């Protein structure tokens, strides 16, 4: 019996155990998936081995710490320095990033997206910004402070802080901050968000399972919006393929993960 887990702070809200355990149960795969509340990201590697995990997902705020915890990084995660999926191979921790492809899956039903505004500058923002650029989109990153914007400037994004931001027209605005996850905060000052939402076609939030204050504001404007549920599903399917070493069919993984959302 293999054991998998999700690390995060907070983590009690996570649907990942329901999703992955649904797949393991219905596909008769000998594994179980649980939650680990982790406050100190530097302890991730130690706890991973202590719990004898075979793999793990990582959510906020530990995705950059997860990158440092790995022995080897593969694929897209190398470009962004952010890991949300870890698999143990021959005693080593191998890091991947499935967030970006998961988000592309999530917004696939929106009409053509060419110009994106990202709110926040953490691990999720890094993955999405790099992926959007790969998809030939124009990307602007808006953050409270200047300190974390260097990565995005070097990547080729437009960047700004709240105080000097000049609002333009956007196809999509995405909140990648934790604002609204365990509080009723907005990801930026309300007057600034009001102006942004007057100049955007679609709105998305990486947070799932609730209508955040940000999405509530978008709803009052009559905008089409999505929470992070589809992103969670997309990245979860890819992570499960890595956990099971592609022994299960992707269609089955997706089907049983979707069924878990009905619980």
**Residues forming the active site:** 63
Q: Which residues contact 22 (CB under 8 A, 6 or more apart)?
A: 256, 257, 259, 260
Strand 55-58, strand 85-89: pairing: antiparallel
Other Cβ atoms closer than 10 A to 212: 27
Strand 92-96, strand 115-119: pairing: unpaired
Compute the half-sphere exposure of residue 76: CA atoms within 13 Å on the CB side of its CA: 22
Q: Which two tokens stand for residue 115?
A: 């110009």
């Amino acid at each position: 019996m293999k054991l998998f887990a999700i690390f995060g702070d907070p983590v009690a809200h996570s649907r990942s155990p329901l999703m992955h355990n649904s797949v393991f149960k219905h596909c008769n795969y000998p594994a179980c998936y649980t939650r680990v509340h982790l406050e100190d990201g530097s302890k991730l590697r130690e706890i991973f081995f202590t719990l004898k995990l075979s793999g793990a997902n990582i959510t906020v705020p530990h995705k950059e710490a997860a990158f440092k915890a790995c022995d080897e990084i593969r694929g897209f995660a190398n470009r962004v320095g952010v890991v949300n999926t870890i698999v143990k191979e021959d005693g080593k921790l191998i890091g991947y990033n499935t967030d970006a492809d998961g988000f592309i899956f999530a917004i696939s039903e929106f009409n053509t997206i060419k110009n994106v505004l990202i709110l926040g500058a953490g691990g999720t923002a890094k993955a999405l910004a790099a992926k959007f650029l790969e998809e030939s989109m124009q990307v602007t990153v808006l953050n409270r402070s200047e300190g974390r914007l260097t990565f995005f400037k070097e990547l080729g994004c437009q960047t700004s802080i709240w105080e000097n931001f000049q609002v333009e027209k956007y196809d999509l605005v995405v909140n990648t901050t934790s604002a609204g996850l365990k509080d009723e905060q907005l990801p930026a000052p309300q007057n600034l968000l009001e102006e942004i939402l007057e100049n955007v076609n679609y709105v998305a939030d990486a947070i799932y399972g609730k209508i955040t204050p940000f999405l509530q504001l978008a709803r009052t404007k009559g905008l089409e919006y999505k929470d992070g549920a589809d992103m969670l599903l997309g990245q979860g399917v890819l992570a499960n393929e890595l956990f099971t070493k592609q022994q299960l069919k992707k269609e089955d993984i997706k089907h049983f993960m979707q069924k878990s959302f009905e619980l």
